[in-house]
Structure 1
């Protein structure tokens, strides 16, 4: 919390001891007496015409600490003390033109002070009440968001489980494969949804996000002989609305590498790199593997794989592109436009 915020919270605590009026009255009388003692002590050093010099602060301090009501009582007490001890004729309550003008000036000043302190404390009370209401609303929003996120993820998991059950009742192998792929993708979306939980909608750091995602995909495949590294600029972030399609594309590339590049229980490595092109501002995510490689004559634009078509479609929906090519290693590259 900043210093200004701490100061604001400190001011909001006043007035104090409103539930203990006798403490406030005692403190008010003590402050008035102290003002009288100090004024009497400095009287030989003061020029004529300053009877209220120590009583104004006493009224303001009392109002600030204990509220405008006790401040008004303090104004009356201090006014009588100054009138009796320091207005001419001294040690009497007689009025003349000079003392009347002085008392009028005193009443105007302390009245203004009391009104200002009262307005400040009323504003502080409203501010504190609004802050508390906002805090409760924020907690409620987070609770509802968490519950909604939990229910959405659970519903996706249930739908995936139903597809798995349906797969067992089919005889057609192509239909089984299609349902298995649909079930896998639903489970993946549910996992991503949980991972993306953030009621504030802030951007996610992409490297740790993809690291956790890719490890989950490898773990779900049941393969323990495939290594993974996810590297890149740790400061690169991605907004929540772009995170799910990006995650689906990267997960599809990793799953494709596992299924085809490391078929036949071939071990190997998958390297994911995240970078921001300084010239164009584009976000580039590459997925490389040292598996079997793509078949000769492979053309990504003519590929019939459902996974590749989905990845291409999702990339285009974000204004980007998805490419799958073979060099020394098989590389899938997702390129998204800069923010």
Structure 2
């Protein structure tokens, strides 16, 4: 089960909250000067309270807070100002003890600034990794929902297909075996189409070569050795759901052409073409050079299972099927490039 990532830890949120100060250099340096002055004023107020030997007591917090909120540059400026103020106002006359105290102060503030900088860098890397994880989670969630949607659509399509085959079998029980074989063939075709579409090795394959492979597969499985299939596709952008419907429609129409357009061992050509009609629509054309339709025949008024399947797939693409006959038969689908809102 996909679970959403928990909220960021407190130290990440605290480090992120300082970004506003760290992004504005002038504001950071102004804060550094103000922090040094405030620490100096506090040290003056405590001059009679603190014993000698604590010249930097109020300056260390100023350096640490400035570095944490404003960054290395302002922290270094604050450290320098605080060190100079402490040395000039709160340290006795010069000597090796003063030099030792200043050196000790320099080491302490350098370590503090370095550690705070490293902490901020670690927090930044953690935020970046967390953002990547959040994006991966969102992608996983979307893909999971899309997978559920596709599985539901596929099951619904298969259920409808089996229902139509069942009605055929009830209308003509003597053809029950043939009808079941036909249903098996269609389900195997659906399975092959989905395997090809979801094959990671084919993710960057153009639509033209992909459909050429599908058409060749249909020709091979039908045993039509004398029929050739030519695919002519312009570059097209189709999401996976619509490409699936388009693939199944092409398979159904090519299979129908093989059944009705050519006699046994008769040679012929089936042409599958996809071209843009305009900026908003595509035209898919499946044409054969076979014997064509009988005079006066109107396929749109037929009641064949293949026709109903084609009409259902065309509806999924929000398109309209038209059939014409001359030297052979041509089926054309006009459909929008984008799914209507």
Would the TM-score normalized by the shorter structure come out above 0.5?
A: yes
What is the correspondence of 1:121-270 to structure 2 with a 5 Å cutoff?
121=122, 123-124=124-125, 172-197=173-198, 205-233=206-234, 235-270=235-270
What is the correspondence of 1:86-97 to structure 2 with a 5 Å cutoff?
94-96=96-98
1:112 aligns with 2:133: no
Cα RMSD after superposing both structures: 5.2
SS in 2 for 1:326: strand
Cα distance change on mapping 1:309 and 1:128 into 2, 3 Å: closer
Gaps of 5+ in 1: 1-88, 154-159, 161-170
8 Å Cα contact 1:204-1:240 kept in structure 2: no
Query: Where does residue 40 of structure 2 map in the other structure?
Result: none
- 1:141-177: per-residue Cα shift (whole Å, max 9, x none)? x9xx99xx9xxx9xxxxxx9xxxxxxxxxx9543333
What is the correspondence of 1:297-316 to structure 2 with a 5 Å cutoff?
297-316=296-315
What is the correspondence of 1:3-152 to structure 2 with a 5 Å cutoff?
94-96=96-98, 100=101, 104=105, 107-121=108-122, 123-124=124-125
| Worse-superposed segment, 327-336 or 193-202 | 193-202
- How far has the Cα of 1:130 moved from its partner? 8.7
Distance 2:203 2:321 in 1: 25
- 1:96-150: per-residue Cα shift (whole Å, max 9, x none)? 3x875676466435422321123313543675699799999x99xx9xx99xx9x
Cα distance change on mapping 1:196 and 1:264 into 2, 3 Å: same
SS in 1 for 2:211: helix
TM-score when scaled to structure 2? Answer: 0.56
- How far has the Cα of 1:219 moved from its partner? 0.7
Distance 1:254 1:95 in 2: 97
Query: Where does residue 26 of structure 2 map in the other structure?
Result: none
Distance 1:313 1:266 in 2: 31
Distance 1:194 1:264 in 2: 31
Gaps of 5+ in 2: 1-92, 155-160, 162-171
- How far has the Cα of 1:283 moved from its partner? 2.2
Cα distance change on mapping 1:200 and 1:228 into 2, 3 Å: closer
Distance 1:198 1:117 in 2: 44
TM-score when scaled to structure 1? Answer: 0.56
Cα distance change on mapping 1:129 and 1:286 into 2, 3 Å: same
Distance 1:293 1:173 in 2: 29
